[in-house]
Amino acid sequence: MPPETPSPIASRHTGWVKSTHWIVTISFLLLTFSGAEILMVHPRLYWGDAGNGLMPAWLELPISRNYQHAGWEAQEAFSEGPNAPVTMSRTFRTFNQNSWGRSLHFLAGWLLFFAGAVYLLAGIFTGHFRRHLIPRLSELGRKAFGADLRNHLSFRIRRATGGPQYGLLQKCAYFSVVFIAFPGEVLTGFTMAPAITAAHPWLLTMFGGYQSARTIHFLLAVALVLFVAAHIVMVVKSGFRRQMRAMTLGDKKP
Amino acid sequence: MNTFDAMSRRRFLIGGGAALGALALPGCNKVTIPPSYGSILRMADNLTYVAHRTLLPGQSPVREYSHKDISSFPAIGAVTPHEPGKRGYSAAYQKLQQGGFADWQLTVEGVVDRPQSYTMADLKRFPSQTQITRHTCEEGWSAIAEWTGVPLSRVLLAAGMRSSAVSVCFHTFDGRTIHTLDMLDALHPQTLLTYGMNGRDLMIRHGAPLRLRVENQIGYKSRKYLQKIVVKDVFDDGGKNGVAAAGWSWYTGI
């Protein structure tokens, strides 16, 4: 068993951290790619349970021709009154590659689910989360936080140690990704599955409806893409060769 | 289907079963997967199907909404199959439409003791069921409407469905693709043969005179323009006339 507080230079990435890191990387890239395709088919986001081309959107993304309102005809109201729900027939040809897009998304989703489950269980039972990932209360002072933030903003990045000796902001970023963003993506994904919410309607309640879950799914995906971009910058700035060796074959020199 | 496909599917089922078995759940090997599924892309759809059938309690009802939640509702896909040259055009359907659907009948056959054709009056003699539910399209939009009809299970039982029934096939006027359900979803209490929408007869663009509602799956399982129902004693997913052959997932509970 490793000691409670290992000396910073003795610790390296374990095999399960390295393998799950790269499996999650592959599945994340596939999820982002297929997720973008799925979003292009209906690039409009809403809050609540219902949202469609005949309703106002919270956010409309001009990433495919499908966002345009043109091509609806023969309006008919379902009831009397000025704000009565209506129906219209869609006449324009839409972009839609969801036949493979959705299946690829779910394939990558399963990959993420299994790799994520292994990572979370191992992280808990080996003490990795406790020792390396979760920021200590004593670290979380405003002063230390401000100092680390200033260092990052002025690109004074610590040299790589080749192991899990993380800085404060780094811990906070990894903590958010591991315990908030990825679990949030999985749960909002489940909330978009009609068979799952039939058995577990609390998911719809928790996220405020199907379309809210879809919008949160998108916002968390944006946050994760931004995290990956920052992560890559930090890997480069802290010593790309050493970091890559540490996360693959392993670092020779401590 | 070739031998390689059959082998890889079997291996996959064993792998998926073992993965689920790790969660200490019995009975997962009894779930039969749709026979037309072959490609790697479909492995996840199979795993999802096996996982749902194993982990979710069967036939949970989906959330029902109130009248004030009824929303605008786009009509997409085939919307005017009675008009020559339009998507989903059917001469037989055009003839029925010209007669106000008075001559329309729904044929129920296959492994049933009393194969027969039902007129709309016959169907309306069954006790009716009304539910306000969310339609969730694979494109990403959703809409809420009130549906009135007769549960499919009632009609199948009235036709004398045999205990050997395994799947139910739906033939529609607007295309040759055959859509099918397993018995768990076919006999789901909210799976509805629907003739009313938002308090009036179903509009042509929404599938008049009769459409299917499969509330615990994605929208494209809820077929419009029903013509014939065939109960099978084998797992029929439509084969080369099914959605899987057209590139789409057969099971869409996700």
Rounded mean pLDDT, A199-221 = 98
User: Shortest CB distance from A89 goes to which of B141, B205, B254?
Assistant: B205
pLDDT at A68: 74
Q: Which residues of A touch B140 (CB under 8 A)?
A: 38-39, 41-42, 44, 214
> Is A103 within 8 Å of B249 when comparing Cβ atoms?
yes
Q: Which residue type occupies A243?
A: Q
Residue scoring higher pLDDT (A83 or A207)? A207
Å between B137 CA and nearest CA of chain A: 9
Rounded mean pLDDT, A97-121 = 96
Which one of A87, A104, A118, A217 would you mutate to disrupt binding with B, by most B Cβ within 10 Å of its Cβ?
Answer: A87
Which residue in chain B is spatially nearest to A91 when comparing CA positions?
Answer: B76
Confidence of residue A241 (pLDDT cuts 50, 70, 90): very high
* Encoded tokens for B158: 């009235």
Q: How far apart are the first and last CA of chain B?
A: 25
Q: Which residues of B touch A196 (CB under 8 A)?
A: 52, 56, 253-254
Query: Given phi > 0 = left and psi -120 to 50 = alpha, else beta, which region is B225?
Result: left
Rounded mean pLDDT, B102-112 = 98
Which one of A41, A49, A83, A121 would you mutate to disrupt binding with B, by most B Cβ within 10 Å of its Cβ?
Answer: A49
Evaluate whether B37 touches B45 at the Cβ level (below 8 Å): yes
Q: How far apart are the first and last CA of chain A?
A: 19
> Is B144 within 8 Å of A50 when comparing Cβ atoms?
yes
Rounded mean pLDDT, A182-187 = 98
Q: Sort B201 into a burial class: Cβ within 10 Å, 0-12 / 13-18 / 19+.
A: middle
Confidence of residue B36 (pLDDT cuts 50, 70, 90): low
Which residue in chain A is spatially nearest to B76 when comparing CA positions?
Answer: A90
Query: Given phi > 0 = left and psi -120 to 50 = alpha, else beta, which region is A189?
Result: alpha
CA B44-B47-B48 angle, to 5 degrees, is 85
Cα–Cα distance, B183 to A237 (Å, whole number): 58
**Mean residue pLDDT across chain A:** 92
Q: Please list the residues that pair with B179 across neighbouring strands.
A: B170
Rounded mean pLDDT, A176-205 = 98
User: Shortest CB distance from A110 goes to which of B47, B73, B79?
Assistant: B47
pLDDT at A250: 85
Residues 100-159 of B with CB under 8 A from A: 134, 136-145
Closest by CA to B44, choosing from B19, B26, B27, is B19
pTM of the model: 0.91
Rounded mean pLDDT, A135-152 = 88
DSSP 8-class letter at B157? H
pLDDT at A89: 96
pLDDT at A55: 95
Which residue pairs from A140-144 have beta carbons closer than 8 angstroms and sit at least 24 positions apart in sequence? A140/A168, A144/A168
User: Shortest CB distance from B74 goes to which of A54, A194, A210?
Assistant: A54
Q: Which residues of B touch A36 (CB under 8 A)?
A: none
Which residue in chain B is spatially nearest to A40 when comparing CA positions?
Answer: B139
Which residue in chain B is spatially nearest to A41 when comparing CA positions?
Answer: B139
Confidence of residue A252 (pLDDT cuts 50, 70, 90): low
> For the segment B117-166, what is each residue's pLDDT rounded down to a tens digit?
999 999 999 999 999 999 999 999 999 999 999 999 999 999 999 999 99
Å between B227 CA and nearest CA of chain A: 22
Q: Which residue type occupies A231?
A: H
Rounded to the nearest 10 degrees, the angle between the axes of helix A15-41 and helix A98-125 is 150
Which one of B49, B63, B215 would you mutate to disrupt binding with A, by most A Cβ within 10 Å of its Cβ?
Answer: B63
10 Å Cβ neighbour count for A172?
Answer: 18
Which residue in chain A is spatially nearest to B199 when comparing CA positions?
Answer: A78
* Encoded tokens for B169: 């096939």
Q: How would you write chain A as a 3-class SS string? A: CCCCCCCCCCCCCCHHHHHHHHHHHHHHHHHHHHHHHHHHHCCEECCCCCECCCCCCCEECCCCHHHCCCCEEEEEECCCCCCCCEEEEECCCCCCCHHHHHHHHHHHHHHHHHHHHHHHHHHHHCCHHHHHHCCCHHHCCHHHHHHHHHHHHCCCCCCCCCCCCCCHHHHHHHHHHHHHHHHHHHHHHHHCCHHHHHHCCHHHHHHCCHHHHHHHHHHHHHHHHHHHHHHHHHHHHCCHHHHHHHHCCCCCCC
> Is A78 within 8 Å of B198 when comparing Cβ atoms?
yes
pLDDT at A10: 53
pLDDT at B53: 95
Q: Which residues of A touch B75 (CB under 8 A)?
A: 87-90
Rounded mean pLDDT, B49-77 = 96
Q: Which residues of A touch B60 (CB under 8 A)?
A: 198-199
Q: Which residues of A touch B248 (CB under 8 A)?
A: 99
Confidence of residue A254 (pLDDT cuts 50, 70, 90): low
> For the segment B194-228, what is each residue's pLDDT rounded down to a tens digit?
999 999 999 999 999 999 999 999 999 999 999 99
Evaluate whether A87 touches A72 at the Cβ level (below 8 Å): no
> Is B73 within 8 Å of A198 when comparing Cβ atoms?
no
Rounded to the nearest 10 degrees, the angle between the axes of helix B43-55 and helix B3-21 is 40
pLDDT at A133: 93
pLDDT at A152: 92
Q: Which residues of B touch A187 (CB under 8 A)?
A: none
pLDDT at B3: 37
Confidence of residue A5 (pLDDT cuts 50, 70, 90): very low
